[in-house]
Amino acid sequence: PALEYGLDAPFAVEYHDSLPSTNARARELAAEGATDAVVVADEQTGGRGRLDRGWSSPPGGIWLSMLSRPSIAPARAPLYTLAGAVATARAVRSAGVDARIKWPNDVVLTGDESTDYRKLAGVLTEMEGEADRIGWLIVGVGLNANVDSGELSEGATTLRELVGDVDRRAVVHELLSEFDALRGDLEGVVPAWRELTATIGRCVRVDAPGGAVVGRAVDVTDSGGLVIETGERRETVAAGDCEHLR
Ligand code: BT5
């Protein structure tokens, strides 16, 4: 397959030219009892975003899923999503792109004052487990690498557009090494995320399960929730879609 490489990785890596979804393949591996496995595809024919949205995944991108079986409380699972975003942002930055993170999981290009951002990568985490124990956890990363942005949705950008085609093997290797280091030091995830975020300090609107929250984003909690100052009080949202207003 186009993406195959022989570098040592902290995971057993499986390569495919084309798959419906690397997350779906990683779920199969999880059902077979695998752990520390990674699935990478050159193209996905049924890529998924969050909340059942689609994810465009033409050939030339980096579409991958990382399977772990962490012994952490399920409430801390969002740290894995943040770790996926940090690892992706760092890998992209090592390719020379000044990417930042939009809470919780988008890797975007943004100017300091602009409300405008273009999405370079996204993270989709799926898990299975009981109230007190995680069975498996899959962090899926979609990174628009050697792809024309015209093939993607509006508001998307790609490494090809920003810096020209990259060596995907090097970017994948960087991403996996960073992710492996972060999951081994979960205490370090939120500080690392804070350093790279474009969301703290911005006015945001978060469409959370309990309704929309509008205010200024001031912090991230130890478990990855976004703290928003709404004027009279502070609210914490654990998950949702976040828009930068100004
Ligand atoms: C995400 O969802 O950002 C998570 C994307 C995760 C994709 C990876 S690829 C490997 C693994 N296998 C999968 O099947 N999925 C994971 P969300 O925040 O819901 O963003 C989805 C929205 O982004 C869509 O509704 C589109 O508007 C937009 N979009 C779709 N494809 C895009 C792309 N390639 N680049 C930028 N934006 C895109």
Per cent of the chain over pLDDT 70 is 93
Q: How confident is the model at residue 91 (pLDDT cuts 50, 70, 90)?
A: very high
Right CATH for 203-244 from 2.60.40, 2.40.128, 3.90.1480, 2.30.30: 2.30.30
What are the sequence ranges of the domains in the chain? 12-196, 203-244
Give residue 114's pLDDT. Answer: 53
Q: Which atom of ligand 1 is nearest to the CA of 48?
A: 14
Q: How confident is the model at residue 115 (pLDDT cuts 50, 70, 90)?
A: low
Asked if residue 136 has its Cβ within 6 Å of ligand 1, the reply is no
What is the rounded end-to-end Cα distance, in angstroms, of the chain?
Answer: 43
What does CATH list as the number for 12-196? Answer: 3.30.930.10
Take atom 19 of ligand 1 and give the residue whose Cα is closest: 50
- Give the model confidence (pLDDT) of 41-79 as tens digits: 999 999 999 988 999 999 999 999 999 999 999 989 999
d(CA 138, CA 126): 5
Q: How confident is the model at residue 201 (pLDDT cuts 50, 70, 90)?
A: very high
Nearest to 180 by CA among 83, 101, 82, 107: 83
In this prediction, residues 89-118 reach a mean pLDDT of: 86
Handedness of CA 191, 195, 196, 200 (dihedral sign): positive
- Cβ partners under 8 Å of residue 232, min gap 6: none
- Give the model confidence (pLDDT) of 150-195 as tens digits: 989 888 999 999 999 999 999 999 999 999 999 999 999 999 999 9
Nearest to 163 by CA among 144, 177, 150: 144
H runs (alpha helix) in 101-188: 159-163, 168-183
Q: Which atom of ligand 1 is nearest to the CA of 105?
A: 3
- Give the model confidence (pLDDT) of 204-232 as tens digits: 999 988 889 999 999 999 889 999 999 88
Asked if residue 22 has its Cβ within 6 Å of ligand 1, the reply is yes
Asked if residue 124 has its Cβ within 6 Å of ligand 1, the reply is yes
d(CA 201, CA 195): 12
ipTM of the complex: 0.99
Distance 20 CA to ligand 1 centre (A): 14
Pairing of β 37-44 and β 12-19: parallel
Distance 133 CA to ligand 1 centre (A): 28
| Choice between 8 and 105, residue whose per-residue pLDDT is larger | 105
Q: Which atom of ligand 1 is nearest to the CA of 49?
A: 2
Q: How confident is the model at residue 100 (pLDDT cuts 50, 70, 90)?
A: very high
Task: Tell me the whole-structure pTM to 2 decimals.
Answer: 0.94
In DSSP terms, 65 is beta-bridged to 39, 140
Asked if residue 101 has its Cβ within 6 Å of ligand 1, the reply is no
Give residue 153's pLDDT. Answer: 87
Query: Is 60 exceeded by the pLDDT of residue 6?
Result: no
Q: Which atom of ligand 1 is nearest to the CA of 46?
A: 14
Nearest to 176 by CA among 86, 96, 100: 86
Q: Which atom of ligand 1 is nearest to the CA of 142?
A: 9
Distance 54 CA to ligand 1 centre (A): 6
